[in-house]
Structure 1
């Protein structure tokens, strides 16, 4: 079942702050530019701890799109589109439970040619580095040609070290696949259309990427931690949408096909989630939980001993055209965020 936790305007991202216990202090971002604290005790009303609404616009697909804490919980990173429509990643120091807005430091600035396909998610991986998902620049049909362009960070999953930026920007972590030239060294994987939510399995370390399709197919990729997250992976766009040819004739050697696709008969825009590692729903442990923005349904993706993936119905949903994100607390319990104005927790059926 989905249990309502709190009502907020356009909640779009939820993260737990490290070092605050289990389930920990939860921080929720609203697309309009606010970050709210849901204290671990759960007895206090939501508290606004950051408001950058004057720095961002929430028209089209823009706004405050993602937040992440540094591994030690001392800094909050916010990913938003600025008033010119460009992507900004800004680091804010924490003071107690609050965010010091005046101490913000710009980490990354990416020019966007259109108002859609901003990506916007960011996560610190098990490696301690900051992973960021960026869409292909918007429009349709990869109109700006970023999907297969290794000289652009658009249409890519990038990996950076913001802590080593010498006070400004960031550095490139050792092990990034394109540090020898010929490509942007930030890129870890490319060929994404709009990676709308990705996550690392807290048990295996595997990276799960949900990439929004265009005409017919939605897709999920898994980059296994045991393979070093497959550096240099080509996710295929715009050569392929799902497993189907979309454009061109090339089939690159570095192409890694999705592990699961579904057609637009079932939805129209995937919302990526997490592999469930909580304790409230034992039968769900090890299942990747995700959904579809348009349909509102929550699904699970399970894998058998032969490595075959099967989508399962979880029997819960939010209103159509509202499922925008999932979050995970410190104990591994999952939350679904809906533009109906509600943050829900996924609980065992009563």
Structure 2
């Protein structure tokens, strides 16, 4: 005889479409407009980066269009001494954290110098492998607990990484060792071409937290106010050694990367349905309904495009990295064999010239 001993119950947070909406005392009036401006800059950055990739200035690019609310809202919820662990689609998060636009472009153009000085804004460099950033999030959170720190770490990842062992190991270690970690899963419905329903039998990704003894919550990922509310609550717990898994329901409106063709696995009807939930469009209408819209915001799209264009031009005008940089930052003390390889490569380049 089988007996049902447990049924997962996951809280879903919504704000803009909620019937019991409050006055959001946790956001100042001008902060609404700041959030919209950041979202618009992120959207224009995305469009420009896509254009630069098609021109050959960038080899490949991972668009974040449709996920601006998730990234910008999550970073807005952080304190200055909190840390960020990105994956590879977090350009909007970098923008909100304060990384210079030209430096973000520089990184996408293949120059690692675009990631210099990120530690000054408590941000790790981009992690391309799927899932490894979850281990970094766990490690930082565990270190914070061991040191007795009162800050937390926000780790970005995608729904695809929840099928990786790294994800489950990270949650397990964080729970056991009371890590100050918030695992922020942007569930954009597809791991490249693999739809979420073919990755897992779980009704939600958030409920995967329960197996590891930590909290899991789901949030409307296209509702920037809900994101801020959910992540702030999660960070408050994490700072006290209670890690949290947040699942943000969102959608990438473009291809997985510029090397992908999403028309091969998504139909137009599905994409059009999610376009109606575009976070920028939703937030704009919300601000108008709440009497927070201004003429300055109406004209800001042009200003955002100008800033992004200037940053892209600045990045393209930067000097290329030197040959030495391939070798000098691999070890704290460069071994002799690497020095020999560097000198040999220099001579080879001189011969070719």
State the TM-score, normalized to the length of structure 2.
0.29
TM score, norm. by length of structure 1 = 0.29
Q: Of the two structures, which has the highest relative contact order with CA contacts closer than 8 Å and spacing of 6 or more?
A: 2
Larger helix percent: 2
